[in-house]
Amino acid sequence: MRNIDGGFLAAPDQASLQRREQDVRKGKLALMLAVVGGFVALIAGYNVFADFSPVSLVVTMLGLAAAVGGGVLTKHLTRNVRFRVHKPNAGLVGAAKLTGLLVAFFGIAALLGSIEAPGALRVVLIAGGVGTIAYVKSLHDQQWVLFELDAVGVRIERTVVPWRDVARLTIDPVGPGMTRLGAVPVNAAPLYVAVQDSELDQRHLADAIGRFAPQGIQLAGGQSFPVN
């Protein structure tokens, strides 16, 4: 086990890792579409505020469409790579953070345009905006994910357990609208986290366990699903 700093530990299940890598490559292509679309939208959007033209507006809209489409496709493909349960309102908070960053970006862009800032400063602004968005997204995922499964491990809040160290998974109702998910390591104390039922799709959880967990890993507790 270890505390996360991004990613999972390696695991001996090479077939699972190969399937995961294939899905990751597809997800990266979709993510690239979203990033490129967002980058184009930022550049063109900057020009809309700094020196409006119909062409800049059209390019901005096309970039936004590519970014949104790539984001939706990335989310869909990500389900084949991992399963996550977030804290309540994680999506809303993430959207608010992104909106705030975009408002700040375009506000600064408008200010630089009004004072006719040099091109180098504009490039720095665009690069800084993209880097900031990526950093905030990564930090948001670390802070707001409560439970995660993928082909090589289980994450309970900020602790990761590779599949080779997992004896079984647990699921139990712990109160109105709450469910406790857990992982029982082979030679360590069990790890648990309570999640809201509104954030937990039990069908997707069962599918994820069947897809990612090695043979012999059981899901035990007050509720059970067919695994493998």
Sign of torsion over alpha carbons 149, 73, 65, 132: positive
Q: Which residues of the chain have pLDDT under 70?
A: 1-28, 30-31, 49-50, 74-80, 112-117, 119, 122, 222-228
Q: What are the boundaries of each domain within the chain?
A: 2-145, 146-221
Model pTM greater than 0.85?
Answer: no
How high is the pLDDT of residue 7? 43
8 A C-beta contact, residue 152 and residue 13: yes
Q: What residues contact residue 214 under an 8 Å CB cut-off, 6+ apart?
A: 13, 16, 163
How high is the pLDDT of residue 213? 87
Report which residue type is found at 20.
R
How high is the pLDDT of residue 225? 42
For the 146-221 domain, the top CATH level (class) is: mainly beta
8 A C-beta contact, residue 20 and residue 151: yes
H helices present in 90-201, as ranges: 90-114, 119-144
8 A C-beta contact, residue 200 and residue 209: no
Compute the distance between CA of residue 193 and CA of residue 15 in angstroms, rounded to an integer: 29
How high is the pLDDT of residue 150? 86
How high is the pLDDT of residue 77? 64
Compute the distance between CA of residue 82 and CA of residue 155 in angstroms, rounded to an integer: 11
